[in-house]
Structure formats: structure tokens, C-alpha cells
Amino acid sequence: MECEMIAAVLYGKEDLRLERIETPRAGEGEIVVRVGAALTCGTDLKVYRRGYHAMMLKPPIPFGHEVAGIVSEIGRGVTNFRVGDRVVALNSAPCDRCFFCLHDQQNLCEDLLFNNGAYAEYIRVPARIVQKNTLLVPEGVPFEYAALTEPLACVVRGFEETGATPGDTMVVIGAGPIGLMFMHVAQISGMEVIAVVKRDDQVATAKLFGAAHVVQTTEVDDVVAATRGLTGQGRGADSVIEAVATPDTWVWAVDMVRKGGVVNFFGGPPSGTSVALDTNRLHYGDITLKASFHHTPATCRTAFNLITSGRFHCAEAITARVRLDEVPGLFSRMLSRNGGSRDIKTAVFPEGAPR
């Protein structure tokens, strides 16, 4: 393993630089992974736009968090992995000792340990993540597919939180990567999915990922009425997933759900955002409002099983492939694109994109 490597380092707002930095070495309980593939993420784009993330990272720091590759070094005390193993290392692991962990809310762990540095030739995986949230990737499963485990684990947890059952109707507002993953997980689980999208190209993509019906916001006068009209007797959906993160879509979500239904506000709006909701409808409609953040070791494994079993549309989710040296330019383009892009996830390959 060389002493130096190439990595994308975030220095601040829209300041992502490709640099030669010291190659990480494995400390006690740690492993070093030679990156096979890393994926772009909406969270990374938000961090790039504002220059930091209070919980996950503070610059300057190697960037990226969805990653899979080959173990290149193991630290003292590591017994569950060997050099040469194919692995996916999740971006966090809980302590399993704090109040929230002991109340089965590991995603809210008071000492949640994050890891970053996926857009690089190598990444060090901390001991806690090695122990609790690193998984062996079967031969035949491409690294870019395995790297989908982290975002899919967040979606799986959000889906489970709705309490949806086969045969239910679920509305998913938004057709970005997360919205599409929700549609597909719901479809795999036996839901009838109604997608609410904006762009023309998202109509076909939503159907590809499992939507039985699609409402295009630019083609109807009343989005809520059009969506409710696709449910039994117009009563509304059993559950609604909001995956856009705007005040308007939060209000839509509440208006689209049936009495006794569940709304999951999955999209995270900017700090300070306020929303006015109809309290009468909430109370007399007996509506449950939830929000979901992050993942747990259990949902990571559920997501991983969906991927490795071949049930999840991994190939359709990876819509572009780039080299590591293209990452700074890629994020600049992602920030400035006008909404016409069909890209879902871009895979980054340090050794060059496979043909």
C-alpha cells in the first residue's frame, strides 16, 4: 500500500479539492478498505452547498460516505475480516449504551460515530463500525450495488416506521433517489404505490421503480385532489412518504392521507423551516405524523439483503459512472443543474469506471 493516495477533500462551501494525502493505516480494531466504488448522495450535495454538517463532518475532511471495496489492511484485534475480503462499510455505528440505544432508537444515539472519506483510493473504517456495521459482500455483487446499502437502510427504516402492510396504498411525494427507493421498497413489499412527481422524465422512472400510478404536479390543477382520486372512494392513502422537504409538500402529505393513516416526513427541510398544518384534520382524522432520520444496524442488514438477493433494482439506480478525479467537477455540475438531469446515483471508481 502506497504512503500517499488521491482523495477528494472538502474545505468549505463549494470547495472540494482533489489532493494527495497520507494513506490511512489501520489502528487497533480498525480496517483499511481499498475503495471499489463510492456513490453520490443528496446529503453530500447539501453538505457541499453549505460547507459543513454539524453531526457528520467538519472541514477540512475527506468527503463521501457511501462506499464498498476490498480490505487492504487489518488492525490488531480484528478477527471477523481478512485482507482481501469484499466489504461494505456503513457510514456510522451506535454506541449501544446510551439512553436512545437502550430504548431501541439507535439512529438517535447520543454518541453516533460517523465516518467519511469514500471519494478516495482508501478509507479507514473505525473499530466500532468494523464491529457493528461492516458486512461481507458476496462474489458477483458489484461494489456500486453494495454501496447502495446505506441510503437504502435509511429508506427501509422510514418504510418500517409507517407500519404499512401488503395491499395498502402508499403515496410517495418526490422522485429523487430517496423517493424512488421508497417506491421500490413499497412495491417489493406488496403496496400499491402512487408517485407524485414534477418532471416529465420522472414519470417513467417512477413507474420503473414500482409506481402503479403517477401524478405529475405540472399537469394537474389540484395535486391533492388528483392523488386522492386514485385511492379507494377518494378517501386518501393509507400512508404518505414526503421526500422533497418543502413546506408545500409537507402540507400535501397531510392532505393526501386517509383518516387513521400515517404520514412520514422523511425529507429534511432547512433549519428554521416552519409549516402550518390543519389541526382539525389531524385531530378528528386521527392522523399519525412521524419523521425518520438515519438508519440502524438492523435496517442496514435488511437493506443489504434486498440488494444481495437481487430483489432491488440496483442497476437502474446507478445512472452514471465517473473516475475519482472527476468528483470535484461532478459536484459543481450537480449543484448547478437545472432539474433536467435523469441521473439518480453516480458511481465513483478510483481505478476507473468499468465498461
Q: Given a cut of 50, is residue 340 above it in pLDDT?
A: no
With beta carbons less than 8 A apart as the criterion, state whether 137 and 145 touch. no
Q: Given a cut of 90, is residue 351 above it in pLDDT?
A: no
Average pLDDT over all residues of the chain? 94
What's the gap between Cα 203 and its chain centre? 21
Q: In the prediction, which pLDDT does 343 show?
A: 78
Cis before 60 (ω within 30): yes
Q: In the prediction, which pLDDT does 353 show?
A: 65
Domains of the chain: 4-148+312-349 (3.90.180.10), 155-291 (3.40.50.720)
Q: In the prediction, which pLDDT does 57 show?
A: 79
Q: Which three cell numbers stand for residue 12?
A: 468549505
Termini Cα distance of the chain: 26
**pTM, whole model, 2 decimals?**
0.95
Q: Given a cut of 90, is residue 341 above it in pLDDT?
A: no
Please report, rounded to a whole number, the percentage of residues in the chain having pLDDT higher than 70. Answer: 97
Residue with cell 384534520: 281
Interval 268-303: pLDDT, tens: 888 899 999 999 999 999 999 999 999 999 999 999
Q: Please state, in angstroms and rounded to a whole number, the distance separating the CA atoms of residues 181 and 186.
A: 8
Q: In the prediction, which pLDDT does 55 show?
A: 74
What is the Rg, in whole angstroms, of the alpha carbon atoms belonging to the chain? Answer: 20
Overall average pLDDT of the 316-324 stretch: 95
Q: In the prediction, which pLDDT does 50 show?
A: 82
Q: In the prediction, which pLDDT does 51 show?
A: 77
Q: In the prediction, which pLDDT does 39 show?
A: 97
pLDDT band at 339 (very low <50, low <70, confident <90, very high): very low
Smallest Cα–Cα separation from 253: which of 210, 273, 262?
262
Smallest Cα–Cα separation from 315: which of 272, 279, 354?
354
Q: In the prediction, which pLDDT does 219 show?
A: 97
Long-range Cβ pairs for the range 79-85 (8 Å, 24+): 80/130, 80/131, 81/31, 81/130, 81/134, 81/136, 85/136
